[in-house]
Structure 1
């Protein structure tokens, strides 16, 4: 099993941990995007992630984003399932300030944490992913 990030775009940055005890890999934007006040925009990373069958990549906001940059990862925690590979994963950000906010290409915008998960003994999930963002159905 291979676990790791794959560049899909020449502007992508392979995520790294800042210290040997950091749980999260710093994930950067692969494009420059301006978000207007109260607007929500999807921001490209230019990356795909390969995971084990019982793993997920959780995307968390950088703690400095709301105060220093006026943006927030709007869904609180992004979940990248193992069957999302080889699709590009992105961040969904909202401008919570009163001014336009520009996210620059190469700017660190999220942290990714690899996590193993469990399923119930009577789990019967048998569906197959057919697309990218939001592709597993609606309520």
Structure 2
């Protein structure tokens, strides 16, 4: 796994583990952003990730953000596929989809650790025959070309 900065985000810190036994790499917000009560937004991270064959990157909200601020990752787990990296739509820019479940505006500051990502393995079914190639970015698994 290899984290890199998205073009134009030179000021961003790459994800890192905080302790030697941490499974997750903390990932920060690349922007100051205010989320209205019950609003859902995509938070930019300024980071992309080159993922090895047979792996995927799981994104999870940091528990302290959920507990203290009532912000949750809308889709519970973000799935970053290997072919999301350097896609033609958005260069593989990782975003965190967040919903504010509180009755107050919540502001996330640039550089605030908001989520964590964990590299994970997956397996294929014996009759798998996927040959399409990704042609888009966020939410684009269904946008493919024949292989």
Question: Which of the numbers 105, 120, 124 marks the counterpart of 2:129?
Answer: 124
Given the two structures, how large is their TM-score scaled by the length of structure 1?
0.94
- Displacement of 1:51 in angstroms is 0.6
1:95 corresponds in structure 2 to 100
**Distance of 1:11 and 1:91 partners within structure 2:** 18
Given the two structures, how large is their TM-score scaled by the length of structure 2?
0.89
* Correspondence 1:114 to 2:87: no
**Distance of 1:74 and 1:11 partners within structure 2:** 27
CA deviations over 1:100-138 (Å, ceiling 9, x no partner): 000000000000000111101111011110110111228
CA deviations over 1:7-64 (Å, ceiling 9, x no partner): 1112321111011110000000001110000000000000110011211000011111
**Distance of 1:89 and 1:120 partners within structure 2:** 27
For the aligned residue pairs, the C-alpha RMSD in angstroms reads: 1.1
2:31 corresponds in structure 1 to 31
**Distance of 2:20 and 2:4 partners within structure 1:** 21
What is the 5 A alignment of 1:33-72?
A: 33-72=33-72
Aligned length: 136
Contact 1:11 1:31 survives alignment (8 Å): no
Which runs of 4 or more aligned residues in structure 1 lie more than 4 Å from their structure 2 counterparts after TM superposition? none
**Distance of 1:83 and 1:59 partners within structure 2:** 16
- Displacement of 1:70 in angstroms is 2.1
Contact 1:54 1:118 survives alignment (8 Å): yes
